[in-house]
Structure formats: C-alpha cells, structure tokens
Structure 1
Amino acid sequence: MGETLRSERTPYVLATVVRAERPTSAKTGDRALVLPDGTLEGFVGGGCAESTVRDQALRLLESGESTLLRITPGAGSAPMDGLVTVNNPCLSGGTLDVFLETVIPPALVHVHGDGPVARALVDVGRAAGFDARPSGAADPPGPDAAAVVVATHGRDEEAILKAALHAGVPYIGLIASRKRGSAVAASLEHGDRIHTPAGLDIGARTASEIALSVLAEILSQRPAPPRPVAGPEPDRAEAHGHCCA
C-alpha cells in the first residue's frame, strides 16, 4: 500500500511498534498506516492505542515531522527530545513505544521545454530530491504542484504561465532574457508573481548551473518549518477509548 500511496503522492504516517510491555495486545513489529482522512490500516493495539496513534499521526502530517510515541500508564516523566509521552487510560495498563514516521511526497516541479536547461532541471531536480517532471502545455498543474518552470524558448509560454497563475502555484519561473521575460510577465494578469529570469543570481552559465540556481530559488521560497509538535493535554489523551492498549 505504501508504494501506491507514494505513486499517488498521498502523505501518510507509518506507525511501527518498537517496544511492547505487557499487558498489551500489540507486539513488537506490528505496523499501521495512518492517512490524512484519519483512516488507519493495520494494527498497533486496541482502541486506546489506535486512537492515540491516529491523533498524533494527524498532527505529524501537519508538521511533516516524525517522532517516537510512548503510551504508558501514569505518564508524567520529564519531556525528552524526539519523544512524545501520552497517558494510557485503559484499565489493562501496559506500555507501547511506537515510532511514527511521516512520509511526505517530495515537492512536485513541472518543467516545460525540451532544451538543455529543461532537461537539466529534471535531472538535477530529481538528484536533489524533487519530484521533477517533464510536462507539456496540455499538462495543467495540479493542486499539489510546488513549482512550474517554463523553458520553452517562447513556445506556448503564455498559456502555460496563465494556467500556473490560475492554479495558484507557489513558484512560477520563466527561463528567458531579462528583457523578454519582463515583457511576457507584464503582459499577464498577476504577472508580477513570475520569477524571470528564473533562478538566484549565482553567476550560472551552463545548463546544469542554471538548473541549480532555479532549484535553489524554489527552495528559498518555501514556507518556514512549523514549530515542533507537542504532546496532547492529559485530559485529551484520557478521552481516548476504554479498551486495552
């Protein structure tokens, strides 16, 4: 299922039981996937554990972080980096350590064009961890597109740029001379959102260097990382279910 989710660019959290202290219904090695809609596929324990894992996983999907979750009776130990401890309200007791690994799809970059710069953008982008895809004028950007870069040397530029602007793509770049790029951007509504010439000024000359400068500019436009995820308040944790962990 994980491969399918990755191919569909669906974020998820992989929950793996790394330690189980009796009495618990889960065993070390039990796993489950938690999806953005709260669906939990697999097994990491009874209702108390399942509810707590789901709650923490949904919070992690918002932050993009991973953590070790400890579900234990009378949780009250000093906080530790990378560890979230939650009280186990179930009468059966028991302690579970569950590693929650958040899997977020890499940033999707649509690259338009078939010249050296366009090819370098795809190759360098993939090497840098982006989901860089060669695209055509008939491939409108989806809602999860992080960037659209146009390097078509004048072919279908305006149509592609209009589609990207309409879709609200966070980064839109046009590979062109400063004069031509400014003219194209000025001719479009909200054209001031277009980065042209695309890329940070790092003295790039070759196709690979230009691609690197564009990818660096895309990275520079990313939102600041969210603050670390805190554990739930005790009364919230105690509201989860009434069966074994």
Structure 2
Amino acid sequence: MTRADALRSGRTPFVLATVVRVERPTSARPGDRALVLPDGTVEGFVGGHCAEHTVRTQGLRLLSTGESTLLRITPDGGEETVTEGMVTVGNHCLSEGSLDIFLEAMLPPMLVHVYGTAPVARALADIGRALGHDVRLLPDSTGALPADLGAVVVATHGRGEEPTLTAAVRAGVPYVGLIASRKRGAAVLAALDLTDEERARVHTPAGLDIGARTAPEIAVSVYAELIAERRSDG
C-alpha cells in the first residue's frame, strides 16, 4: 500500500502535488511528487525549501476549499495572482527557474452512518455508495461517533432510535434523519432529551417530499434532501 493509499483508507485529507513543467535551473523535475498533510507536513519532493514553502501554503488553502489548481512559482516579485484554474506566486528566494505544479485536493468522501437492517436501510447504503459516499450500515448505535461524520440516518423502525438520534445531534453531525411516518416521527422527537432547537435539527420524515413509496425511492429522497442541505450551507 502506498502512502497515499494509507491516507485514503484512514480518511485523512491531503493534497497531491505533482511537478508538471519546469524552466531550469531548478532542482525539481517533471513527475516529482509530494503530499501536503493537514498539519503542514510535506512528504516527498517538489523542489527546494522555497518551492516547498509555497506548495505547503497553497496546499493547506486547498484543503479548506476542496479545490484543485495549477500552481506556477516564479522567481519574479509581485503579488499573488489568481486566474481560473491557476495560481501564480512570485517567490524571491527561488532560483532563476520556475515551476508548474498541479495541486490536487484529495478529500475523503462524506461519511454516512445508516442504522438498521430493513430494506430502506439497505437501499440507503446501496444508493449512498453509488453516489460516492462512504456509507457504513450498522445494526445499532455503539461507541463514539467519528469526528468527520457527515450524516446519520436512523431506519431501525422503533428500535434504539432515541439514543442514536440524541447522540448524533449532540455530536454536531450536520445531517440527522429519522425514517418514520410524520405522526411517529413527531412522537419520537417529543421524547428526545434535547432542546427544541436541537430537536429541530432532526429531519423526520427524512427526505424530500417526492411521493416516494419504495425503499429505493425513499433512499433517493433522503440523499436529495442531504445534497440540498449541504449546497445551501456551502
């Protein structure tokens, strides 16, 4: 397993920096690569200290936006310039050459916990994975929730719903949904040991009202709501 593969499996975000073009004199060559980690560590080689410092700075910026860009580092002075798909940085301590480095943000897919074993839970897992999410299908809630958990959907049909929902809300999970009828969902919300504001964060019935009836249709409605909420927050 490569270092990049290990970071992906551990859900650690990083930026892959690849030298794609050089104007000599430079110490880097096309194809040289490095990884920029969230703590600012640079693993690999994309040039000397000056180039590495610029790659680190730009890489950390991309980790916060999730974007990718072409970075051009030149020995010229002047302010940083940004055009579509490219950032140009003048670095006085660089040698006379210049570097073009592609910076690719590698963020882990959204982590989704689906609780339950019924057809709706299985459909939520299948469709979520088809959308590229990292979906964990769990029979019930056990242990602490991961810090980067993006969504919790409870489809246990009355079994262990309250502690699972309460834990997800208190952990600050961005999307919390309960698969239930409107009447039963309201009853579950009323029983939660949460404030009114916290209860309002639980989506029930989970999903957009698209007239869904089958398990796959319900799953589609849930992810549609999740996507819409993420876009509005962004």
Q: TM-score, normalised by structure 1?
A: 0.88
* Equivalent AA in structure 2 for residue 203 of structure 1: G
1:158-196, CA deviations, whole angstroms, 9 ceiling, x for partnerless residues? 111111112111111000011000110122112221100
User: 1:84 — aligned with what?
Assistant: 87
Candidates 16, 21, 35, aligned match of 1:14: 16
Q: Which deviates the most, 132-141 or 168-177?
A: 132-141
> Match for residue 56 of structure 1?
58
The answer for the alignment partner of 1:177 in structure 2 is: 181
Question: Deviation above 6 Å: which 4+ runs of structure 1?
Answer: none
1:11-61 Cα deviation digits (max 9, x unpaired): 100000000110000000000000000000000000110000000000011
Runs of at least 5 residues in structure 2 that lack an aligned partner in the other structure: none
CA distance in 2 between counterparts of 1:75 and 1:129 reads: 42
Task: Pick one of 27, 42, 45 that aligns with 1:43.
Answer: 45
Q: Is the 8 A contact 1:186 1:192 kept in 2?
A: no
Determine if the alignment matches structure 1 residue 207 to structure 2 residue 215. Answer: yes
Distance (whole Å) between structure 1 residues aligned to residue 122 and residue 57 of structure 2: 42
Q: Partners of 2:85 and 2:183 in 1: how far apart?
A: 50
Task: Report the equivalent of 1:158.
Answer: 162
Residue 94 of structure 1 deviates from its aligned partner by: 0.4
Cα deviation, residue 224, structure 1: 5.1
Q: Which residue of 1 aligns with 2:204?
A: 196
Matched positions, count: 226
Does the 8 Å CA contact 1:141/1:148 hold for their aligned counterparts?
Answer: no
Conservation of the 8 A alpha-carbon contact between 2:114 and 2:136:
yes
1:132-143 counterparts in 2 under 5 A? 132-135=135-138, 136-143=140-147
In the alignment, the residues of structure 2 paired with residue 191 and residue 91 of structure 1 have an alpha-carbon distance, to the nearest angstrom, of 55
CA contact (8 A) 1:67 1:82 kept: yes
In structure 1, what is the Cα distance between the partners aligned to 2:75 and 2:163?
A: 60
Which position in structure 2 is the counterpart of 1:124? 127
1: CA distance, partners of 2:212 / 2:62: 38
Question: Which residue identity lines up with residue 66 of structure 2 in the other structure?
Answer: G
Structure 1 portions without partners, runs of 5+: 227-245
Q: Check 1:36–1:224 CA distance in 2 against 1; reply closer, same or farther (3 A cut).
A: farther
**Which of 81, 106, 110 pairs up with 1:107?**
110
Deviates more, 1:97-106 or 1:162-171: 162-171
CA contact (8 A) 1:142 1:167 kept: no
Query: Which residue among 17, 32, 35 is the counterpart of 2:34?
Result: 32
In structure 2, do the counterparts of structure 1 residues 36 and 43 end up closer, same or farther at CA, with 3 Å as the change threshold? Answer: same
Structure 1 position 143, deviation (Å): 1.2
User: Counterpart of 1:44 in 2: which secondary structure?
Assistant: coil
Amino acid corresponding to residue 121 of structure 2 in structure 1: A
Following the alignment from structure 2 to structure 1, what is the Cα–Cα distance between the partners of residues 231 and 207?
18
Structure 2 length as normaliser, TM-score?
0.92
1: CA distance between counterparts of 2:94 and 2:5?
38
Could you tell me how far apart the structure 1 residues matched to 2:229 and 2:152 are? 13
Structure ranking higher on relative contact order (CA contacts 8 Å, 6+ apart): 1
Alpha-carbon separation, structure 2, partners of 1:182 and 1:225? 25
Tell me by how many angstroms 1:138 deviates.
Answer: 1.1
Identical amino acids, percent of aligned pairs: 65
Letter aligned with residue 101 of structure 2: V
Partner SS, residue 101 of structure 1: strand
* CA displacement 1:205-231 (0-9 Å, x = unmatched): 1111100110111111115587xxxxx
Deviations 1:59-91 (A, max 9, x none): 011111000000012266975311100113126
